[in-house]
């Protein structure tokens, strides 16, 4: 049963459900939240463009149309869409083999990536392929995010310390540095230190300070989350006042004024071949992260998140970004929390925030020219280090060795071999371990508890058995990964019980049987028959019987299908002669 | 429970179990079977070397030491190891991008492939990784074999008709032909026609003929399977007598005399990189096919096949082939059946057959010089077309659309994009469809059957429910593929039941919970708590409780774990006020 089926009727209407009954009170709440989100979105979108190796305005371009598109098509009321750190890192890793960072071709690559991942998301939404995200298990995603955060943090050293850093893996960065000739640039260091102080101060010391000043707790907590805004304002002012650029501090410089314009992303067959896989991974990672944020916030107000609608919303947001020259986007955690806490009621808050960014682009970009890049790098660093979950591996390893191993492999490979390799290896290992786990399902030879109709494991209970009748219970659906197990199990049974004449397969826990398992059953039936043993089934569920009826298995089955195991046991015992010496295999 | 554990003690002894109590009677039975198998193995090993694009003696090299190695290490008593058609096709596909067919480098490539796949098999056997073969579902293997058979049949046209054929996919072969200028070579066509007549005649008309001549049925059936021997003898004699080579019929020519010599396969880092994946696929396909043959024959005499021992046996056989300059080998279906039917009792029959081939190599290779290649091609054609299972797709499609789709994709891609692509796509699609299937497990909201302690689906039964208490039963173990489903399901429930205060997750069918599902449960618990709803569990199995105890989940769980669903229902109802109007969510 699909939980979403009740909403299908109104899914594709262009007028979103929330717009009905929209009124001035809701609008004023949304507008206030939008104001705060806009203030936060400016430094973030610049910083994440910097992280992706793109001209900074590309970050702003990705913060207008995508927000509107998501408001119209998405299902969360409070998700704040836009550039996020992990996707920027993945963008840089995907595009930099194709073009030099900052070049026109590089920008085109990032835009193409947004287009492709938007198309993937939209397609998955329309075809209801959201289950593809299930390939990314929690341990793999968690390890991937932690490793990405470390990579991002390391890469920001180039702006914080003005070190010449290159590469997209920890190895490349470490090997690329000219360790003997590293220099320290005083003014840049000072700006970095000041920014970090402001950011960490806002995060940890600001709330108590504001509380002692008599501010309501909620407002104080909210203000402490807008630390990046104050850091940007203060360092930009300082930079302008002291002319830090002339001292060699790298500043943002000219950001083109004006709204993002509609443009067709350019196509290139070879680039498509290079970028489709990164785009797919980007789409999946962005979706998984975004849905998790949306569901967390949605639950607080008992609002429903529809995963397929989320796919469409995020897909349209990315297409919107691509068609206005922006980079890939998704729902960001910190911004969404600020949006929620600031009282956003409907997705209109996102539309208002898009308006805010548009205003900034029209009139305020000249002020951004003085903003030191080190401040943006500090913003990234503080935001991203909160994502590193050092305890997760230990915790997961203790819970399950298999999941811990998948986590470790993802973490290490992401760090040393890059984001794509890391996530692909993690997914492959998860699948491998899962197949391993299900390839030997729990099974037991069972016998009758004397005087009852119950059948239990012969190794755990004193039960009635007969050397001529074996009953095997398999506690799992039968499919390709465990079909061979069944063959091996019966094979062993056959050689261990020379007196065997009847094998009953007891199926109360078998929910479905795929074509591989069906063929295995046929092979087992055939082999048993040649060895003079009849195969019977008992307690087969209704859906499985329906499946059997679509095949010729019931025609070739050498024995019978019994409703209950007890019935099978009774009838087969009656058929057999009382004396066991009479037994003679038909070979 | 591993069915093989009882045999662990004597697994690694070099003296095989069957050799104890070996006597003259067994030896004479084995020797007779070996004689017939040798006669069959000569044309087959030459033909499969021809198919692989190798000098024909390479096929003979692969038919001596591998047979001995398998006899010492394998677990089947009647499997006949040696070159087989499908592996030869895979060998040609893997090696031909690296070197010109028939060149010294090409032979080295085939030998390296045998070495690598032998190493993989041995490693899988020692590390008990046989479960890897489970990735190859029956539909994928079946489609792969059928498509390979068609490819092989098409490729043999070059020898049967002396057409200049190139390439390893149907597309390449069809595009490569110069259709306008195809010519027919009379003498070759005559040899092909004669060979096909003899082979098909032996297969279909020989048995009735021999029966009317008064021969015992078993002997007649066996003789009809040695058709290739008579075809080879007759056409070789004709070729020598009429000097067909001078008429332009391609003959085998000089085959070096003498036993295969011990040699170290040569290494090359770049080749290793190119060949490891084909070698792995080759190892898996060879293993799956061989075990299936071995189990089918083993069951007839209630003899046990140990899959891990099979891996070691086949691994040693391939290493043996590599170290004596041969191509990859595995257990062949037709030869094994002949071996069984001819009365082979122990693997000594394999050792005797190896001796037979050695004798041929020492003294009889000059006679092979006159053998027409068209006869070998006809042998391949007749053997391989029996493997095409035209009904399988229809049958599988009717049984399950998913398996049918996997089959179709494997079939088409193998034909048009090559063997590797075909099998990889088939495996990927099977996994995809499996993840899809398990990503939405069966689940139901349940309520109490009035007056009982049973809880059933609210949509199927008239049951007692309470808008403040919901009970969700999930009928599957929880793991990464369905963790998101659970979150979505609870998310929907929360928005649909505004009066909800308690959610009970009923777990009688949950056998294990992986780290992803655990995190999802924690997220669900957290979100429910923020919405003022307590999460409870009921009927949790013992192993799952053990898992929980290794995490901190039970500490953060907002509700309780109840032994029975009835207890949970009773206690929670008692806690709630009788009037429903008193309810007020804690938000």
Tell me the three-class secondary structure of A383-430, residue by residue: HHHCCCCHHHHHHHHHHCHHHHHHHHHHHHHHHHHCHHHHHHHHHHHH
Nearest CB neighbour to B304, from listed A395, A495, A520? A495
pLDDT at A298: 83
Cβ–Cβ below 8 Å for B514 and A483: no
Instruction: Provide the token pair at B220.
Output: 């007649």
% of residues, chain B, pLDDT over 70: 96
Cβ–Cβ below 8 Å for B299 and A551: no
Contacts of B2 (CB under 8 A, 6+ apart): A440
- Each residue of A542-587: pLDDT tens digit? 888 988 998 989 999 999 999 889 999 999 998 888 654 434 433 3
Evaluate whether ipTM surpasses 0.90.
no
* Distance to chain A for B213, nearest Cα, Å: 28
B451 burial via Cβ count (<10 Å: 0-12, 13-18, 19+): exposed
Higher pLDDT, A105 or A8: A105
Q: State which residue of chain A sits closest to B552, comparing Cα positions.
A: A395
Q: Which residues pair with A505 in a beta bridge?
A: A472, A537
Distance, in Å, from the CA atom of B169 to the CA atom of B324, rounded to the nearest integer, reads 30
Cβ–Cβ below 8 Å for A442 and B398: no
Task: Give the best-scoring range by mean pLDDT among A169-178, A185-194, A553-562, B432-441.
Answer: A553-562
Nearest CB neighbour to A304, from listed B2, B3, B492? B492
Distance, in Å, from the CA atom of A232 to the CA atom of A38, rounded to the nearest integer, reads 13
Distance, in Å, from the CA atom of A80 to the CA atom of A60, rounded to the nearest integer, reads 14
- Mean pLDDT score of chain B, rounded to an integer? 86
Cβ–Cβ below 8 Å for A439 and B131: yes
Contacts of A295 (CB under 8 A, 6+ apart): A305, B487, B491, B523, B527
DSSP state of A265: P
Question: What's the per-residue H, E or C state across A512-529?
Answer: CECHHHHHHHHHHHHHHH
- Each residue of B458-517: pLDDT tens digit? 988 889 999 999 999 988 889 888 888 898 899 889 888 889 999 999 988 788 899 889
pLDDT at A13: 58
Instruction: Provide the token pair at B29.
Output: 């039975």
Judging contacts by C-beta atoms under 8 Å, the chain B residues touching residue A480 are: 134-138, 430, 434
- pLDDT above 80: residue A442: yes
Task: State the angle between helix axes of B138-155 and B85-95 in degrees (0 to 180), rounded to the nearest 10.
Answer: 80
Q: In this structure, is the dihedral angle defined by the CA atoms of residues B219, B220, B221 and B222, taken in order, positive or negative? A: positive
| pLDDT band, very low/low/confident/very high, at B108 (cuts 50, 70, 90) | very high
Higher pLDDT, B578 or B87: B87
Distance, in Å, from the CA atom of A73 to the CA atom of A311, rounded to the nearest integer, reads 9
Distance, in Å, from the CA atom of B140 to the CA atom of B405, rounded to the nearest integer, reads 10
Q: In this structure, is the dihedral angle defined by the CA atoms of residues B123, B129, B130 and B135, taken in order, positive or negative? A: negative
Strand, coil or helix: A21: coil
Strand, coil or helix: B463: coil
Task: Give me the residues of A, 222-251, that contact B with CB < 8 A.
Answer: none
* Distance to chain B for A133, nearest Cα, Å: 8
Cβ of residue B139 closer than 8 Å to a chain A Cβ: yes
pTM above 0.80, yes or no: no
Task: Give me the residues of B, 519-558, that contact A with CB < 8 A.
Answer: 519-520, 523, 526-528, 530-531, 547, 550-552
- Mean pLDDT score of chain A, rounded to an integer? 86
Q: Which residues pair with B81 in a beta bridge?
A: B331
Query: Hey, how many other C-beta atoms are within 10 angstroms of the C-beta on B449?
Result: 14
Alpha carbon A194 to its chain centroid, in Å, reads 35
pLDDT at A270: 86
Contact, A173 vs A155, CB < 8 A? Answer: yes
DSSP state of B372: B
Cβ of residue B162 closer than 8 Å to a chain A Cβ: no
Judging contacts by C-beta atoms under 8 Å, the chain A residues touching residue B296 are: 523, 526-527
Cβ of residue A446 closer than 8 Å to a chain B Cβ: no
* Distance to chain A for B288, nearest Cα, Å: 9
- Each residue of B242-265: pLDDT tens digit? 888 888 888 888 888 888 888 888
* Distance to chain B for A428, nearest Cα, Å: 11
Nearest CB neighbour to A303, from listed B404, B482, B495? B495
Contact, A358 vs A60, CB < 8 A? Answer: no
- Each residue of A3-56: pLDDT tens digit? 444 444 444 556 777 777 788 888 888 998 898 889 889 888 998 998 899 999
Instruction: Provide the token pair at A294.
Output: 């949306």
Cβ of residue B124 closer than 8 Å to a chain A Cβ: no
Task: Give me the residues of A, 334-363, that contact B with CB < 8 A.
Answer: none
pLDDT at B14: 64
Q: State which residue of chain A sits closest to B305, comparing Cα positions.
A: A491
- Distance set, CA B347 to CA A407, B29, B72, B343 (Å): 46, 11, 8, 12
User: Which has the closest alpha carbon to A551: A584, A530, A525, A533?
Assistant: A525
- Distance set, CA A130 to CA A126, A186, A330 (Å): 9, 50, 15
| pLDDT band, very low/low/confident/very high, at B7 (cuts 50, 70, 90) | very low
Cβ of residue A479 closer than 8 Å to a chain B Cβ: yes
pLDDT at A87: 94
If you write DSSP's letter for every residue of B257-317 in order, what string do you get?
Answer: -S-----PPPP-HHHHHHHHHHHHHHHHHHHHHHHHHHHHHHHHTT----HHHHHHHHHHH
Cβ–Cβ below 8 Å for A434 and B480: yes
pLDDT at B107: 93
Cβ of residue B488 closer than 8 Å to a chain A Cβ: yes
pLDDT at B582: 38
Judging contacts by C-beta atoms under 8 Å, the chain A residues touching residue B528 are: 299
- Distance set, CA A334 to CA A305, A379, B409, B533 (Å): 19, 12, 44, 25
Mutating which of A3, A394, A477 best tests the B interface, going by the most B Cβ atoms within 10 A? A3
* Distance to chain A for B408, nearest Cα, Å: 14
Cβ–Cβ below 8 Å for B491 and A547: no
Mutating which of A439, A491, A552 best tests the B interface, going by the most B Cβ atoms within 10 A? A491
Contacts of A209 (CB under 8 A, 6+ apart): none
- Exposed e or buried b per residue across A568-582, where buried means at least 16 C-beta atoms within 10 angstroms of its C-beta: bbeebeeeeeeeeee
| pLDDT band, very low/low/confident/very high, at B13 (cuts 50, 70, 90) | low
- Each residue of B298-312: pLDDT tens digit? 878 878 788 889 999
User: Which has the closest alpha carbon to A34: A78, A66, A69?
Assistant: A78
- Each residue of A190-246: pLDDT tens digit? 889 998 888 888 777 777 777 788 778 777 777 777 778 888 889 999 998 988 888
User: Which has the closest alpha carbon to B228: B255, B254, B250, B201?
Assistant: B201
Cβ-based contacts under 8 A for chains A and B: 217
């Amino acid at each position: 049963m699909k939980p979403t089926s009740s909403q299908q009727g109104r899914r594709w209407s262009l007028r979103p459900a929330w717009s009905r009954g929209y009124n001035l009170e809701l609008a004023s709440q949304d507008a206030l939240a939008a104001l705060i989100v806009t203030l936060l979105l400016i430094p973030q979108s610049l910083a994440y463009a910097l992280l992706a190796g793109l001209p900074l305005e590309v970050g702003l371009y990705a913060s207008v149309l995508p927000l509107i598109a998501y408001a119209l098509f998405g299902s969360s009321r409070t998700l704040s869409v836009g550039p996020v750190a992990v996707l920027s890192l993945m963008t840089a890793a995907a595009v930099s083999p194709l073009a030099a960072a900052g070049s026109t071709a590089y920008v085109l690559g990032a835009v193409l990536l947004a287009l492709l991942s938007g198309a993937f998301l939209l397609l998955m939404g329309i075809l209801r392929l959201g289950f593809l995200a299930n390939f990314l298990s929690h341990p793999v995603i968690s390890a991937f995010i932690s490793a990405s955060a470390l990579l991002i943090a390391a890469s920001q050293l180039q702006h914080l310390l003005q070190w010449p850093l290159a590469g997209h893996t920890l190895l490349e960065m470490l090997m690329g540095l000219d360790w003997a000739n590293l220099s320290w640039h005083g003014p840049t260091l000072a700006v970095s230190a000041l920014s970090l102080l402001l950011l960490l101060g806002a995060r940890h010391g600001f709330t108590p300070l504001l509380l002692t000043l008599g501010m309501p707790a909620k407002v104080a907590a909210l203000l402490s989350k807008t630390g990046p805004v104050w850091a940007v304002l203060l360092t930009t002012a300082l930079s302008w006042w002291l002319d830090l650029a002339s001292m060699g501090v790298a500043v943002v410089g000219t950001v083109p004024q004006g709204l993002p314009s509609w443009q067709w992303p350019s196509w290139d067959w070879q680039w498509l071949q290079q970028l489709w896989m990164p785009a797919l991974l980007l789409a999946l990672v962005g979706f998984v992260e975004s849905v998790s944020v949306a569901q967390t916030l949605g639950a607080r107000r008992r609002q429903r998140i529809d995963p397929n609608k989320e796919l469409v919303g995020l897909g349209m947001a990315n297409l919107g970004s691509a068609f206005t020259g922006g980079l890939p986007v998704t729902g960001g955690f910190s911004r969404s929390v600020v949006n929620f806490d600031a009282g956003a009621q409907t997705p209109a808050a996102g539309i208002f925030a898009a308006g805010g960014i548009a205003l900034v682009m029209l009139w305020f970009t000249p002020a951004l020219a003085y903003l030191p890049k080190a401040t943006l790098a500090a913003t990234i660093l503080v935001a991203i280090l909160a994502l590193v979950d050092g305890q997760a591996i230990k915790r997961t390893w203790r819970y399950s060795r298999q999941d811990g191993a998948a986590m470790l492999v993802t973490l290490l490979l992401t760090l040393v071999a890059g984001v794509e390799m890391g996530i692909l290896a993690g997914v492959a290992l998860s699948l491998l371990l899962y197949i391993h786990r299900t390839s030997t399902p729990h099974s037991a030879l069972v016998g009758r508890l004397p005087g009852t109709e119950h059948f239990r494991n012969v190794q755990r209970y004193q039960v009635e058995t007969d050397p001529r009748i074996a009953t095997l219970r398999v506690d799992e659906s039968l499919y390709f990964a465990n079909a061979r197990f069944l063959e091996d199990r019966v094979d062993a049974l056959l050689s261990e019980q020379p007196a065997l004449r009847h094998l009953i397969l007891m199926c109360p826990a078998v929910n479905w049987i795929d074509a591989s398992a069906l063929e295995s059953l046929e092979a087992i039936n055939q082999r048993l028959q040649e060895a003079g043993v009849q195969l019977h089934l008992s307690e087969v569920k209704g859906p499985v019987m329906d499946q059997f009826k679509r095949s010729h298995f019931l025609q070739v089955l050498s024995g019978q299908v019994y409703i209950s195991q007890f019935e099978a046991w009774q009838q087969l015992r009656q058929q057999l002669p009382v004396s066991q010496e009479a037994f003679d295999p038909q070979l």
